[in-house]
Amino acid sequence: MALGTLLHSVTAASLVALSLSNWDDEELLKLITHGSKPHFPSLQHLILTNIASNVRHLAALARAFPDIEQLTLDPGKTASLLVIDLILIIFLYGADDGNVAENDVHSGPLWPKVQTIALSTSTVWTSAMGFERKSMILQLQAAGNPIRKLLLPREVHPAMVEVGEI
């Protein structure tokens, strides 16, 4: 059974966390892009793994799961710093995913209710997480996003002392 079919066939009123891994599922993306939303009204935590090759679909996922309060991102072991920056930029400014329906255009931050962003361990980019990213978090807050926590792997804590000041 395809992921899209599964997500749209199941109603899980109490589901609070959902993890999507290797979610390059065209059926899922087509259903989401055309306005069909999964039935998870209590969903608060979305975990997206191996998203480096699917960054362009973040806007569609934001439409499908708009009330997320915690977002965990794992770009994958081969993701570059440019991909990480692109994810944060798309998160902040929105993305053009080809859907031009008036109520679906994202010109502002995706997931406006997100309070926590967690970035997983990945040796490619954790060593270089100096903080231009701090300014992105501040920009999200300035845009009205209630982000309060940025969860990072232990390896980057020494380089991220400034983040504690946010």
Most confident of 62-76, 98-112, 133-147: 62-76
Q: Which pLDDT does position 62 carry in this prediction?
A: 81
Token pair listed for 93: 């400014």
Give pLDDT tens digits for 32-64.
655 566 678 899 999 988 776 666 677 777 877
Section 81-98 average pLDDT? 66
Q: Quick one: tokens of 23? A: 């979610």
pLDDT digits (tens, 9 = 90+) for 106-144: 556 678 888 988 877 654 444 445 445 666 777 777 877
- Classified by CATH at the fold level, domain 17-153 comes out as 3.80.10
pLDDT recorded at residue 21: 78
In this prediction, residue 101 carries a pLDDT of 41
Banded model confidence at residue 31, pLDDT cuts 50, 70, 90: low
Burial (CB < 10 A; 0-12, 13-18, 19+), residue 78, is: exposed
The pTM score is 0.72
Task: Give, to the nearest 10 degrees, the angle between helix 133-142 and helix 81-93.
Answer: 10
Enumerate the domain spans of the chain: 17-153
